[in-house]
Amino acid sequence: MDSNAIRDSTILVTGGAGFIGSHLVEALAPHNEVRVLDDFTTGDRAYLPDDVTVVDGDVRDPIALQKAARGVDVIFHHAALVSVTQSVDDPRRSNQTNLEASLLVLEQARQEDARVVVASSAAVYGHPETLPVPETASTTPTSPYGVQKLAADQYARLYEGLYGLETVALRYFNVYGPRQRGPYSGVISTFLEQARADEPITVEGDGRQSRDFVHVSDVVRANLRAATTDAVGEAYNIGTGQRTTILDLAETIRTATGSDSTIVHREPRSGDIRHSGADTSKATRQLGFDATVGIESGIRSLVGDDRSNAATDTALEPNRGGGSYR
Ligand code: UD2
């Protein structure tokens, strides 16, 4: 265990039964009293350790939030509608969860004098003006989702300045790992499913667009750093600093799975960002964070999961093998 790691604290994880939240809960639970607020629309109780307290409710509901947050030291705010497409289809609905609820969380944290770690996104940059993109780059989101994440990220900064609340915003690049699934999940889980079924792998556009894919175990480590850092009131890029094209990703997944899938091209996604990659030097300098899982080993470990047919198991998970979230 990292000597800086948070322990003996009372912690709320909103969205704690979801993809990123549940991995974080798993890392926190052995050393802290952990509560989870989740409405289980995409989350799953099976992901949660037995000794966490579950509040089954919507993060937009102030009563549920108040109940879950009473007496906490830290709130990790991961409840969100993560689909960019959904946010384009229904901006007001996604605004309620991604922005209005974030403001509720910050207000509740003021009541409790709790630190807040906000899940922000690379989507705040829109088409990045430089690559890799630093936190100081201009922020011109191309989707309601990006606007909502940017506003929540800015509110976090503002609450530190205005009210002295300890806040940290983590701008995740493209996160992948076990438990990422469903119609709105990312390209890696989609390609893996297609490869496993020997169905065509659907590359949107020419496939030469690139992303910075960061493994969920690294994202958990960044959260643990954010919980104890003195450098609050700041936003940090959380990525690997390495970019992979979608076409290379398709090939890597096809090879790793031994799949017979063909690679087919579809229409490019409208408004798709061409290239995205993190300058992570600020996180390195101020949080002591560096990603440890490269794309090839991250994919291999995911494929290993599939082969062993274990829905949530991975060598990179802390309780189930050699890896850890330190
Ligand atoms: C955005 C954010 C990411 C996160 C996510 C939440 C950026 C750079 N990234 O991810 O941080 O907030 O939204 O949803 O803003 N693709 C295919 N075939 C498929 C599926 C996807 O080719 O079957 C392509 C897609 O066109 C895109 C890339 O893969 O170019 C990544 O798509 P994604 O949906 O996994 O993630 P992205 O970058 O929209």
Q: In the chain, what are the domains?
A: 10-175+213-238 (3.40.50.720)
pLDDT of amino acid 311: 39
pLDDT at 101: 98
Pocket test for ligand 1, best of 246, 263, 267, 295 (most atoms within 8 A of CB): 246
173-188 pLDDT, tens digit each: 999 999 998 877 899 9
Q: Does the beta carbon of 216 sit less than 6 angstroms from any atom of ligand 1?
A: no
pLDDT of 4 reads 67
- 187 CA to middle of ligand 1, Å? 6
pLDDT on residue 321: 28
pLDDT reported for residue 15: 98
Rg of the chain on CA atoms, in Å: 19
Enter the tokens of residue 23. 């991995």
CA torsion, points 185, 6, 212, 82, in degrees to nearest 10?
Answer: 30
Buried/exposed code over 72-95 (b: 16+ C-beta within 10 A; e: otherwise): bbbbbbbbbbbbbebbeeebeebb
- Give the catalytic positions in this structure: 145
**pLDDT in the model for residue 313:** 36
The token duo for 315 is 């060598």
Does residue 209's CB lie within 6 angstroms of at least one atom of ligand 1?
Answer: yes
> Which atom of ligand 1 is nearest the CA belonging to 269?
26
**pLDDT of the residue at 182:** 80
Element (H, E) at 54: strand 53-56
Residue 181: what pLDDT?
87
pLDDT value at residue 270: 84
Instruction: Quote the CA–CA distance of 15 and 37 in Å, as a whole number.
Output: 6
Positions in the chain whose pLDDT score sits under 50: 309-324, 326
Give the number of other CB atoms < 10 A from CB of residue 206: 11
DSSP code string of 95-163: HIIIIIHHHHHHHHHHHHT-EEEEEEEGGGGSS-SSSSBPTTS----SSHHHHHHHHHHHHHHHHHHHH
Q: Which atom of ligand 1 is nearest to the CA of 212?
A: 8
